[in-house]
Amino acid sequence: MSTVKPRIKLDKKEAKKGDLVEVKALVAHVMETGQRKSADGKVIPRKILNKFTCTVNGKEVFSADFEPAVSANPYIQFKFRANESGPVVLTWIDDDGSKIVGEDSIKVL
Amino acid sequence: MKVSVTRRQTLLTGAAAIVAAGFGLPSTPAHAANDLEELSKKFTGGKTPIAGKVKLDLPEIAENGNTVPMTVSVESPMTDQSYVSEVIVLADGNPRAGIATFRFSPASGVAEANTRIRLANTQNIVAIAKMNDGTFYTASKEVKVTIGGCGG
């Protein structure tokens, strides 16, 4: 799963201190609910990304827990307040324990 | 004689079936109970959330229940003194009520998140926000779903 590359977009590369920065991210994943049955009647086991976190310069600014009711190829959009420059790291955790990580950066003027 | 008994039996069976159907209907409402009550109580710790401050932005009619855009936002200054710490989003008509939980901090700047969700049928979406002072606010919205998102 580590080969999956999330698409991340920040609405600005540089921000004044205190400005709000909007993050949009999309990651390819089946988000199998565990409710569906295959043609032979067996339940398809659940496999979703159950947790998402965003850190800016190592500090967590936003996180989320996902349930199977989140659509396939989960999209997430949120904002954070620009306090310091640094990497913006987005991490999704799969039910199987694997991680999908994407990175961008913000420069605070 | 034999014929009339058979007919009586047939009639009785038919009557029983009608009665059963009559009793069967109310027990299967359009919104079968899921774990919404349980999850919301767990989230609030038994407190009753106050209506207001929370805004749920969803389409009135969702053509495709597999991917319904959903934005939840909460009015708050988001300062160290007063901020939204957590928001839970639940649905009363999905097989399981849980959709997502969002966690904020003063560093979030604004308590707002958007994602795309699955809805099995027409139902109510409920959002409950937890403030840093331990109070809870809530909002709900009905979404009409044309094609359900459970893929079955």
Mean predicted confidence (pLDDT) in B84-101 = 95
Q: What is the pLDDT of residues B53-63, one digit of tens each?
A: 999 999 999 98
Residue carrying structure tokens 């994407």: A102
Please report the pLDDT score of residue B13 as a whole number: 57
* Residue A34 covered by a domain: yes
Q: Which residue of A has its CA nearest to B93?
A: A69
Q: Helix (H, G, I), strand (E, B), or coil: what is residue B37?
A: helix
Distance, in Å, from the CA atom of B108 to the CA atom of B102, rounded to the nearest integer, reads 11
So what's the architecture of B36-147 in CATH?
Sandwich (2.60)
Put simply, whether A77 touches B (Cβ < 8 Å) is yes
pTM of the model: 0.83
Mean predicted confidence (pLDDT) in B50-77 = 94
What's the Rg (C-alpha) of chain B? 22
Q: Are strands A99-108 and A86-94 parallel, antiparallel or unpaired?
A: antiparallel
Distance from CA of A52 to the nearest CA of B (A): 9
Distance, in Å, from the CA atom of B75 to the CA atom of B12, rounded to the nearest integer, reads 62
Q: What is the pLDDT of residues B9-51, one digit of tens each?
A: 655 555 555 444 444 444 334 445 789 999 999 999 999 999 9
Taking CB atoms and an 8 Å limit, are A75 and B99 in contact across chains?
no
CB contacts of A71 in chain B (<8 Å) are 66-68, 115-118, 149
Q: How many CB atoms lie within 10 A of CB B7?
A: 10
Residue carrying structure tokens 């901020």: B83
Please report the pLDDT score of residue B129 as a whole number: 97
Q: What is the pLDDT of residues B96-137, one digit of tens each?
A: 999 999 999 999 999 999 999 999 999 999 999 999 999 999
What's the Rg (C-alpha) of chain A? 16
Write the CB contacts of A102 (distance below 8 Å, at least 6 apart in sequence).
Answer: A5, A6, A7, A8, A25, A27, A89, A90
**CATH number of A17's domain:** 2.60.40.10
Going by pLDDT thresholds of 50, 70 and 90, the confidence category of residue B152 is very low
Helix, strand, coil content of chain B in percent (nearest 5): 25, 40, 35
* Residue A2 covered by a domain: no
Taking CB atoms and an 8 Å limit, are B66 and A70 in contact across chains?
no
Does position B142 have pLDDT exceeding 50, yes or no?
yes
Mean predicted confidence (pLDDT) in B82-100 = 95
Please report the pLDDT score of residue B11 as a whole number: 53
Q: How many CB atoms lie within 10 A of CB A69?
A: 29
pLDDT tens per residue across all 109 residues of chain A: 457 889 999 999 999 999 999 999 999 999 999 988 889 999 999 999 999 999 999 999 999 999 999 999 999 999 999 999 999 999 999 999 999 999 999 999 9
Distance, in Å, from the CA atom of B150 to the CA atom of A98, rounded to the nearest integer, reads 25
* Ranges of each domain in chain B: 1-30, 36-147
User: For chain A, how many structural domains are there in total?
Assistant: 1
* Residue A46 covered by a domain: yes
Please report the pLDDT score of residue B8 as a whole number: 63
Please report the pLDDT score of residue B34 as a whole number: 86
Please report the pLDDT score of residue B148 as a whole number: 76
B 73-132 residues with CB < 8 A to A: 78, 91, 94-96, 98-110, 112-119
